[in-house]
Structure 1
Amino acid sequence: MRDFLTNRVLMVRPIAFTYNEETGADNLYQKNDNQDRKILEEKAEKEFDTLVEKLRSESIEVLVIQDSLTPHTPDSIFPNNWFSTHEDNKVVLYPMYAENRRLERTDKIFDFVKDKNQIEKIDFTKYENEGKFLEGTGSMCLDRKNKIAYANISKRTDKELFEKFCEKLGYKGISFSGSQTVNGVKAPIYHTNVMLTIGEEYVIIYLSAIEDEKEREIVKNSFINSGKKIIEISGEQTKNFLGNAIELRKKDGSKILVMSKTAYDSLDDEQKNIIEESAKIVYSDIPTIENYGGGSARCMIAEFFLD
């Protein structure tokens, strides 16, 4: 029987992590106080290593790629945006909004594959030339079991490309438009995975971000019809990266939900209880990565379904 949660993930250890000005234009989660770059690098590396250690202690197999100094890729720590892996040894490569993020693509992800000839590559990167973008499992949240993909449309998530992905991979696509206010600025939510986490038995979602009532009901009913409990979170909890979590399968068959300490601290007791009925919550403190990178635990983890 196929498992739609993975026990194996890929992560990229940073070597030159810093604030990325190219992505800061529409990522309202990023902050920049011009802290010494060397200090940022050291803090990010320590936070990364601690999260890897925690995952491995929960019997999750973590495949680690060490980033290189050249080319300079300040956001390489978030590999889930440029590729995703799927059953039947499929790999999807995605068009990226920021030019310096396109440099993150590397064939090193295939170093962990037994037979590279068995890999089917689905490459959407050519759409960068048309100014169309779809940033992997940042742009889309996948219910792999029910073959439903959810996407908040933004300039990083092109609706046409989202539909092409769904057609190619056999997903039913549900798209919507969500926005939020951060530091007094209202803007489209740039990545779906900051407002939505899909677990096997529940979803965590900033549902009120979807302002159109019809769209909101479609999303809500899709979750209900999929048999999932809906854990609604607030805009403030979303700012604290509670929507940016990922459920994984331990070797003994039990589940863990991985999130940051910032996210964990924002949970209320009722939300925590619903999650813990299904999965153990594992959290790690990654404030440097969150503040300067604008992404959290889920962004750091790329599910690895290749043989």
Structure 2
Amino acid sequence: MSRVVEDIAGWAQQARQASPARPAYPRGAFLVSPDALRWCEDSASDNAYMGSATQIDAGRALAQHRALHRALSEELPVVTFPGLPGQPDGVFPNNVFATACDSRSARLLIGRMRHPARQAEAEREDIRAFFRDVLGYAELDLRHLPGLSELTGTLVIDRGRGIGIAGLSPRCDREGAEAMAEGFGLSACLATPVSDGEYHANVVLALLGSRAAVVAGQGWHHAADLAGALAKVYGSRAVVELDRREHQAFAGNCIALRDGRVWMSERAADSLSPRSRSRLQGLGFAVRGVALDEIEKAGGSLRCCVAEIF
């Protein structure tokens, strides 16, 4: 039986049966320094968030990234790998590398990327050796399977419940969603299209600590149905629906690494309406913002920079 469904109501029914005993948070995280960061023409072809700012201040990006490492280290161990020449989007490692840990194994997943400029990142022996030789993880290379599978960029996962939502787009197809659902060991995975012009699901959706959802309705083709399904799984008061301004400022690209805090860029935090901020705080999540506007010129924000270690 396929782990992936395209029926939103059917997914919600399955997801409600997978209530977690407790939220599942990562035991660590890794980042990749923006040493090689630059505006990437490949990525700009399907990433509207990159806009027209083609010049990136490398020194400022590095300073902001160091501040991100320091901030996240308040909550969990964080490792930063260097950026490599010729890998301009390497600062967003969660699209290429992700981890899973269950009764089968602890494993490093390697995604199948759409753009040639990103495909070289998967060959990084230093990152692969860290997980293989230092942490003892098995390696699961999805590049050997059909489909596009840009990991936790295109697939948003509730680790506690073992469920996920894949945003179908030019960077994620049904076959890729199937490969990821199997690789992460999900019991139920919804595959539903993001809106035209969106590239990754994690820009328009976050599932926080198995008990809340942040969703930008403008980012989904079937926005009303998806919001209704999320309300059935998490409860109507636990769904924070972003407006267009919040969406465009990357407020949907957020992450909870421990109970009690949600992390997003400073720009995203500043965009939050009083209603959204109050709703998050009412759910027990204090908002922490980190200045990343220089890195955001490359088309991703805080969540995109964080690869979780489970």
Same-fold status (TM-score > 0.5): yes
Q: How does 1:27-46 map to 2 (within 5 A)?
A: 27-35=47-55, 40-46=57-63
Note the 1:14-33 alignment, pairs <5 A. Answer: 14-33=34-53
* Counterpart pick for 2:225 among 177, 193, 217: 217
Give the alignment of 1:71-86 within 5 angstroms.
72-86=86-100
Distance 1:19 1:125 in 2: 25
- TM-align CA RMSD: 2.3
Does the C-alpha gap of structure 1 residues 167 and 62 become closer, same or farther in structure 2, counting only changes over 3 Å? closer
Name the CA shift for 1:271/1:50 in 2 (closer, same or farther; >3 Å): same
Residue 235 of structure 1, CA deviation? 2.5
Moved over 6 A (4+): none
* 8 A Cα contact 1:30 1:294, kept in partner: yes
Going from structure 1 to structure 2, the CA distance change for 1:209 and 1:115 (only over 3 Å counts) comes to closer
For 1:67, the aligned partner's letter is G
| Counterpart in the other structure of 1:237 | 246
Partner amino acid for 2:51?
A: K
SS of equivalent residue, structure 2 residue 50: coil
Return the alpha-carbon distance in structure 2 between the equivalents of residues 24 and 30 of structure 1. Answer: 6
**Structure 2: which amino acid aligns with 1:60?**
L
Give 1:161's aligned residue. Answer: 176
Query: TM-score of the superposition, structure 1-length normalised?
Result: 0.84
Which residue of 1 is the match for residue 309 of structure 2? 304
The runs of 5 or more residues in structure 2 that have no matched partner are: 1-20
Residue among 105, 114, 117 paired with 1:97: 114
1:227, CA displacement in angstroms? 4.5
TM-score, normalised by the number of residues in structure 2:
0.83
What secondary structure is seen at the aligned counterpart in 2 of 1:18?
coil
Please tell me whether residue 8 in structure 1 is matched to residue 18 in structure 2.
Answer: no
1:246 is paired with a residue whose SS is coil
Counterpart in the other structure of 1:184: none
Q: Classify the secondary structure of the residue corresponding to 1:247.
A: coil
Q: 1:114 to 1:27 in 2, by over 3 A?
A: closer
1:263-302 paired onto structure 2 within 5 Å: 263-277=268-282, 278-291=284-297, 293-302=298-307
* 1:170 paired residue number: 185
Q: 1:208 to 1:34 in 2, by over 3 A?
A: closer
Q: What number of residue pairs does the alignment pair up?
A: 282
1:62-93, Cα deviation, whole Å (9 max, x unpaired): 11111233xx1111100000011011311111
* Residues 20, 75 of structure 1: 8 Å contact kept: yes
Give the distance between the partners of 2:227 and 2:142, measured in 1 at CA.
26
Distance 2:71 2:135 in 1: 33
Tell whether the 8 Å contact from 1:259 to 1:281 is kept in structure 2 after alignment: yes
Residue 189 of structure 1 aligns with which residue? Answer: 198
Q: Structure 1 residue 241: deviation in Å? A: 0.2
Q: What letter is aligned with 1:122?
A: L
Work out the percentage of aligned pairs sharing the same amino acid: 26
Q: CA deviation at 1:115?
A: 5.2
Give the C-alpha shift of residue 239 in structure 1: 0.9
1:162-217 per-residue CA deviation (whole Å, 9 max, x = no partner) reads 023213433111121231xxxxxxx341100010011022111012443337xx42
| C-alpha distance 170-6 of structure 1, shift in aligned 2 (>3 A) | closer
Unaligned residue ranges in structure 1 (runs of 5+): 180-186
